[in-house]
Structure 1
Amino acid sequence: MIAPIEGFSKLSKEAKISWIAKHYTHNSEQTLELLQQYWNKDAQLQKLHDEFIENTITNFYLPFGIAPNFLINDRLYAIPMAIEESSVVAAASKAAKFWLSRGGFKTTILGTEKVGQVHFMYTGDAEKLAQFFSALKPQLLANVASITKNMEKRGGGISGIELRNKTAELENYYQLHCTFETMNAMGANFINSCLEVFAKTLKAEAQNYPAFTDQEKDIEIVMSILSNNVPNCVVRAEVSCAVNDLKPQDAASSLEFAKKMVRAVNIAKVEPFRAVTHNKGIMNGIDAVVLATGNDFRAIEAGAHAYASKDGKYTSLTHASIEDDQFKFWIEIPLAIGTVGGLTNLHPLVKVALEILQNPTAKELMEIVAVAGLAQNFAAVKSLVTTGIQQGHMKMHLLNILNQLGATEAEKQTLVNHFKKNTASHSAVVTAFEALRNNV
């Protein structure tokens, strides 16, 4: 039985690896060699990566790709994507090329408001608490002035603070619901810093409020934290064209294709089992750009899925319609992202990604990310209603299978050519590989 270890975080990287390899792997020398293969040869660059998180032992690489030909608001972009899943970059690129000659993508920022909350328990008269809050509000703002000063200079800051009575949901539970504008920063540290000051002020000033009883003065702060649910930090991205201009090569007719697209999206609107996979495809595109630009894809995922459920049922994030012989396909999605702060100022590849995107503002990056999600969804639904998803996906997955089988470069080229004309399922690839290897 492996014994627990004390002080693991204080060990050197080499000592951490030695302990892990000895106790949790079958071949410690082989493990050490493998981990070291993924270290940066530049010691300073490796040190930078080591300090991103705790207990680092090596780097975990993801492919960094480019999806070109995105025309967004009449401006041409090449979009960086960091992702391991086959066919995502290819699908996004194909959708971008499809819409390039049909007017491209149009976007609109619907809001940029972020949210944070101070959660607290109060046992007493709700009306007295409301009166206390009204008197306290100027003090709350004054006490964070040193934090908000620079943000306000850039046009951001605190846009609202309100007291919310949540006792109907949980006994004695109240909150300060706060809204923020954080400009080009995602703003998590800024928001959390403000909230913690609010919490301290709330608790301290309650002790001195003359209308409170001793019991009412004893406000209990539970926690102070931003929310990744940002229903008012939303961007809309859309494409449209005349139905007659829509026809792809693999569709029977433009109108039939348009109807199939609308029906497929409508199914995702009413059927949660389909909606989850439908939206996962959207997030394939969104997460890849979010990750490449140093933003928090987990927060984006959480906010997006909450938004998909905002009307009480989980549903599609995209929409499609045919109106007056025009096909329209669009998405509205919350995206709390930034172009300054965090990894955007530290990770060398993030800096390159933002440079490739022409150093966008946070609003412009919201637009780009939303377009990537819309393009990914268009490509996926288009495949589903025409050739089927597996034909394109398995051809892109072909090299992964061949690498797993240990194919040589010559064998890969032979089999890639073979599957240009044949269906590439996993079993078909294995059978073809074995036949080639055995000269059958």
Structure 2
Amino acid sequence: MIEPISGFSKLSKQEKIEWLSSTYLSGNTKAKEILTQYWNSNSSLQQLHEEFTENTLTNYYLPFGLAPNFLINDRLYAVPMAIEESSVIAAASKAAKFWGRRGGFKAEVLGTQKIGQVHFMYSGDREKLQAFFSKAKPRLLEAVAPLTKNMEKRGGGVVNVELRDKTDLLGDYYQLHCTFETKDSMGANFINSCLERFAETFRAEAKNHEAFDASEKEIEIVMSILSNYVPDCIVRAEVSCPVSELADHGLTGEDFAAKFVRALKIAEAEPYRAVTHNKGIMNGIDAVVLATGNDFRAVEAGIHAYASKEGKYSSLSHADVRDGKFRFWMEIPLALGTVGGLTGLHPLSRIALEILQNPSAEDLMKIVAVTGLAQNFAAVKSLTTTGIQQGHMKMHLMNILNQLKATPREKEVLVAHFKSHNVSHSAVEEQIEKLRQ
């Protein structure tokens, strides 16, 4: 029976691996070798990676690839993407090439404000609370002035602080709903620091507020935290062209556009389809967010919440045909940064931003949204013409060959064979067995 371990965090990396190997991986004779072979030979770089998080054992690698030829607002980009899924980078590149010949992508930032909240409980008179807040608000802003000084120099800071009554959702529940502008930083630490100062000041001011009785003075601060739902930090990405330019795979432009728009209508109406449809968008978005050292979990959470803003989960992207013109677009919330955090610490994140010509946060929002839209276009185009598996499985072929431990010569022969044959795991197994016989 496995016993709990005490002091694990104080063990050296090697000691952690030894404990793990003997406790959970005793049957795997190669476990230690696999874990240690991913250590970076550059000791300072290895230490940097280990200090990103806690109880580090090794490094977990993802491919860092490039999707070239993205024409965005008449400027050409090569987009770095960190992702392990087959066909994503190839599909994004193909869509970029397709739309680059048709005027490219247009992108626009519609808003950049971010949200944080102080959640608190108050059981007294609502009107007295509102009067107190009006009196205390200048004091709240004064209290965070030392924290906002540098952000304000860059054009950011606290935009507004509101008192929100949420007692219809939960008894005695109120919020300080705070809006921030953080410019080129994602701003999580800045926002959370301001919120905690707001909470501290708000509680202290309540204790000295003469109009409150003894119970009303005891406002309970539950928590102070930013929100990853940022419906006012929005970017729009779009492509369009005459319908006649969409002829493909034996379909007229009109037929292609009609099938594509119907596919989007299904994703708008049917949540089961919408989830997979939006996952395809996130294939592109997450890959760029990860490559640039941003928080893809926060981005995912915020975007999927936005997909449910009308009360039902639905497609993030939309398409229509008007006056002979096909339009395909998407508006999504994106809170990203190009300074601070991992963006400045991880060497590959710095390289990724340099590849993108050192964008501002707003420029990065546009690039990320466009990559998601391109990925979505490629996926829906495949679904409504050849089917998703034909292209995906050809890109997945190398994974299957590696699983079957194919030699370099076998890979060469089988890659050539499957250029003209459908790829499936069983078909690859059959062909490799024939080769080996």
Q: Same fold (TM over 0.5)?
A: yes
Per the TM alignment, residue 26 of structure 1 is displaced from its structure 2 partner at its CA by 2.6
Per the TM alignment, residue 28 of structure 1 is displaced from its structure 2 partner at its CA by 6.4
2:24 aligns with 24
- How far apart, CA to CA, are the structure 2 residues paired with 1:188 and 1:70? 30
- How far apart, CA to CA, are the structure 1 residues paired with 2:336 and 2:58? 27
Checking the alignment, whether the CA contact within 8 Å between 1:113 and 1:180 is kept in structure 2 is: yes
Per the TM alignment, residue 435 of structure 1 is displaced from its structure 2 partner at its CA by 1.7
Deviations 1:303-359 (A, max 9, x none): 000000001111000010101100000110000000001001100000000000000
1:122 aligns with 122
Query: What are the residue-to-residue correspondences of 1:400-419 with 2, within 5 Å?
Result: 400-419=399-418
Query: Secondary structure of the residue that 1:258 maps to in structure 2?
Result: helix
Checking the alignment, whether the CA contact within 8 Å between 1:167 and 1:173 is kept in structure 2 is: yes
1:399 aligns with 2:392: no
1:152 aligns with 152
- Equivalent pairs counted in the alignment come to 437
2:353 aligns with 354
2:51 aligns with 51
1:94 aligns with 94
Checking the alignment, whether the CA contact within 8 Å between 1:345 and 1:351 is kept in structure 2 is: yes
Residue type at the aligned position of 2:83: I
- How far apart, CA to CA, are the structure 2 residues paired with 1:10 and 1:222? 32
Residue type at the aligned position of 1:153: K
Query: Secondary structure of the residue that 1:190 maps to in structure 2?
Result: helix
2:432 aligns with 433
1:315 aligns with 314
Residue type at the aligned position of 1:157: G
- How far apart, CA to CA, are the structure 1 residues paired with 2:389 and 2:250? 17
1:239 aligns with 2:248: no
- How far apart, CA to CA, are the structure 2 residues paired with 1:391 and 1:148? 53
1:303 aligns with 302
Per the TM alignment, residue 30 of structure 1 is displaced from its structure 2 partner at its CA by 2.2
Checking the alignment, whether the CA contact within 8 Å between 1:148 and 1:157 is kept in structure 2 is: yes
Deviations 1:381-427 (A, max 9, x none): 00000000000000000000000000001111111111111110121
Per the TM alignment, residue 360 of structure 1 is displaced from its structure 2 partner at its CA by 0.2
Per the TM alignment, residue 251 of structure 1 is displaced from its structure 2 partner at its CA by 4.1
Deviations 1:236-282 (A, max 9, x none): 0000001111223x241111001111000010000000000000000
Query: Secondary structure of the residue that 2:330 maps to in structure 1?
Result: strand
- How far apart, CA to CA, are the structure 2 residues paired with 1:427 and 1:242? 42
Per the TM alignment, residue 429 of structure 1 is displaced from its structure 2 partner at its CA by 1.4
- How far apart, CA to CA, are the structure 2 residues paired with 1:431 and 1:203? 71
Deviating above 6 A after TM superposition, structure 1's stretches of 4 or more consecutive aligned residues are none
Residue type at the aligned position of 2:166: K
Residue type at the aligned position of 2:18: S
Checking the alignment, whether the CA contact within 8 Å between 1:17 and 1:32 is kept in structure 2 is: yes
1:364 aligns with 363
- How far apart, CA to CA, are the structure 2 residues paired with 1:64 and 1:107? 25
Checking the alignment, whether the CA contact within 8 Å between 1:132 and 1:209 is kept in structure 2 is: yes
- How far apart, CA to CA, are the structure 1 residues paired with 2:95 and 2:185? 30
Query: Secondary structure of the residue that 1:302 maps to in structure 2?
Result: helix
Checking the alignment, whether the CA contact within 8 Å between 1:66 and 1:79 is kept in structure 2 is: yes
Checking the alignment, whether the CA contact within 8 Å between 1:18 and 1:28 is kept in structure 2 is: no
- How far apart, CA to CA, are the structure 2 residues paired with 1:353 and 1:190? 24
Residue type at the aligned position of 1:218: E
- Which structure 1 residue ranges, 5 or more long, are not aligned? none
- How far apart, CA to CA, are the structure 1 residues paired with 2:50 and 2:247? 50
- How far apart, CA to CA, are the structure 2 residues paired with 1:323 and 1:81? 34
* Identity rate, percent: 69
Q: CA RMSD in A?
A: 0.8
Deviations 1:130-160 (A, max 9, x none): 0000000000000000000000010000111
2:373 aligns with 374
